[in-house]
Amino acid sequence: MNIQSNDQYLIASNYGTKAGQRLAGMQQASVSSQKVDQKNLNRHLEETAKFYKDSNFSQVEEKSSEKTKGKSSEETAKEKKFFLEGTTDIYGSLPEAEKRDEPLYPTMEKKLFPALHAMEKTVEELGKHPTPEEVDRSNIRRLIRAFQPVAEAFEGSYDRKDFKKSMKKIQSLASSLGKYKDISVIETELKKICPDGKIPEKIQKEIDEYRDKQAENFQETYKDFRKEDMDKALKILRNPEEPESSKPHKLEAKDRELLSKNIGELLDTVEEVGLQHKDPETFHEGRKSLRKLLNSMNATEDTFGFSEKDVKTMTDLVNVYGQAQDKYIAYEWLHKNGFNQEASIMMSLYEKSQKQALEEASKFMKSGTLERVRKNVQS
């Protein structure tokens, strides 16, 4: 390798780091000084370049990555592929359950443990510094929602305190991503009311600052989850207490009993919270209770054989509620940041969308869907 003056600058610019800048500075100082012969200069620069390439450069790269965390990168996003990406049928996409020697409830073995393995695999695919967009594409949030009610059905198989702590760690990741995803919801809803779909510069600037803040919060939560929280949670959730009986028919009967009890409680919650409230907070709680019930039904369809029509009706209602909720998320942010004119328009759209959701909910409550689901799990 024979480094001439122009090549030395090229090396420095290619590094694009303090390491490269130092190399460039060394080159300038050395060339300007006639006291160092070219042969020794070349050798010295080669050794210094190798040193930074093998050690400090990788560290600088990692720090640089941390500084730009949360930034959208189309090129980076295309490089990563996730095995749950794009799927709406989480359980249909999970890997086959691994056989374990100890007796287990069938749903734990077929649904919960494969879902936990999928979460671990997805975090591995995401790596150390994923963008929030990549985490969203990975479907890990949908995965967590899918197995959450299943895990809760078997809460009695764990130490209660340990179980709550584990699920809290997992939920914190999903919540952090949800807050980041709200930004794209705000932008989408705003474009609908702006001329030519162009968000005013002043509002866009506030959104960008908010995005940076939420991306930073997300990266911090994800780092903790990947480094410690996930392993702690998995260690607990993968090691339940053994059932009282190891006989297959008794395990199946108890499995069904626990799932039935859990769905019954979720049905009670939907009815207690109600689906007829205009208050935005209670309206949203109604949607969350219905969505959790739906996730539990999707996970246990092979056990109870729910009507496809009932599942679709419930799914459609959850989506209609979601459309209204998106508008309220946008309204809240606009109102909080002092964009009163846009906030007023968004509130009008929310009220209109909410009215439609409440009308659909009224039909749903009269359709007998919840009664049929309860009958299914009790028979």
In this structure, the chain runs to a length of 379
Residues 138-150 have pLDDT tens digits of 999 999 999 999 9
- HSE at residue 171, side-chain half, CA atoms within 13 A, is 10
pLDDT at 78: 55
The mean pLDDT of the chain is: 83
Q: Lowest-pLDDT range, 39-43, 96-100, 293-297?
A: 39-43
- DSSP code of 129? S
Question: Given pLDDT bands bounded at 50, 70 and 90, which one contains residue 46?
Answer: low
* In the chain, % of residues over pLDDT 70: 79
Q: Specify the CATH number of the domain 108-241.
A: 1.20.120
Q: Lowest-pLDDT range, 7-21, 79-93, 312-326, 358-372?
A: 7-21
Give the three-state DSSP class for 342: helix
Question: Given pLDDT bands bounded at 50, 70 and 90, which one contains residue 220?
Answer: very high
pTM over 0.85: no
Question: Do 57 and 17 touch, CB atoms closer than 8 A?
Answer: yes
pLDDT at 10 over 50: no
Question: Given pLDDT bands bounded at 50, 70 and 90, which one contains residue 4?
Answer: very low
Question: Do 49 and 12 touch, CB atoms closer than 8 A?
Answer: no
Residues 78-132 have pLDDT tens digits of 578 898 999 888 988 988 878 888 899 999 999 999 999 999 999 999 999 888 7
Question: Do 94 and 120 touch, CB atoms closer than 8 A?
Answer: no
**Exposed/middle/buried for 187, CB within 10 Å: 0-12, 13-18, 19+?**
middle
